[in-house]
Structure 1
Amino acid sequence: MTTKEIIDTLLKLLELIISWPTLFLLVGVVFYKDVKEAMPSLLKRIRKAPGGWEFDEELQEVKAEVAELINKNEIEKDSTVLKVDPHKIHLTHTSTPLDGKYWSVTAKLEAPEDFMNMVERVEFERHPSFKNRIHVVREQPFVDKVKCWGAFTMKAHIYLNDGQVIKRQRFLALDEGH
């Protein structure tokens, strides 16, 4: 490219950059009434869109509902070996803020006492970002306490004395209500 072609290209680019704001301003002035009427519905769509402030609140509610469904669906069918209602075997958790960034989260296996006496060990599987991803607990209470900055799903592999393995999982929400 010659110097003249470069200068011509730069001038065309400058003309284009200058003309777009002028065009938008002209459209805004000409169609002011239409733009003014459309603005509330446009803002409503922005609030509900991904990244919008209402979307984030609804997303947290949906995540909590999905977590509950996952927890319920992870429960196995009735076992003839266990003689314990599988719906009574579940993970619970509590979470408390430590400071502005971190939370203390305690996950616990809860079940009837006769089932707990059959448990050899529980392997709590944490989020992949944890340095020690698997935490093994060999005696009651079967608890895993972690310090974290975000919510995640914890899985528990429950090993029974007879070799049977039962799996549970729970979405560990970070709020003081848990």
Structure 2
Amino acid sequence: MATTKWSIDPTHSEVTFKVKHLMISTVTGRFKVFEGNAETEGEEFKSVKNVQFKADVQSIDTNNAQRDEHLRSADFFAAGEHAEMSFKAESFDVSDDKMHGQLTIRNTTKPVTLDVDFGGVVVDPYGQTKAGLTVSGKISRKDFGLTWDAVTEAGSVVVSDQVKLNVEVQFVKQA
């Protein structure tokens, strides 16, 4: 059976995260520059293999320039030394609601399991075949070397360790 290649359509996809701030509210951020691809056995988006994704850490955006610069610093992503984060999954079946893979941040690679909600496959008005997925999960930022921490005078943690990930992906079948 022939392999079909699919690429992320960045204009119809987004990569966001949420982190508790002071343990009373949530800050949302996103990566503006990312890319990814996958392969399927045959023409249909069912048995998916070789899923690869990477995001440009410099493109982080939390709607606050000062916070974004801090996140790019050595306290967090060390973007000057580690320009991208990546994810690689060997395979997954869209009938399953889990994707197992390897996430790499700051040259630290850890296994992660992400929830997958398969939205389906359609042909758009331009004749392109597209597949949609919502991928979500939680990670410990400290597991990946993002260990900066501070405590308020009252003893509250400034930034939680847990990061919630949400990726809305639209793949385009390649010719």
Instruction: From the two aligned structures, give the one with the greater helix fraction.
Output: 1
Structure number with higher relative contact order (C-alpha < 8 Å, ≥ 6 residues apart): 2
Instruction: From the two aligned structures, give the one with the greater strand fraction.
Output: 2
TM-score range, shorter chain: 0.3 to 0.5
TM-score normalised according to structure 2 size: 0.33
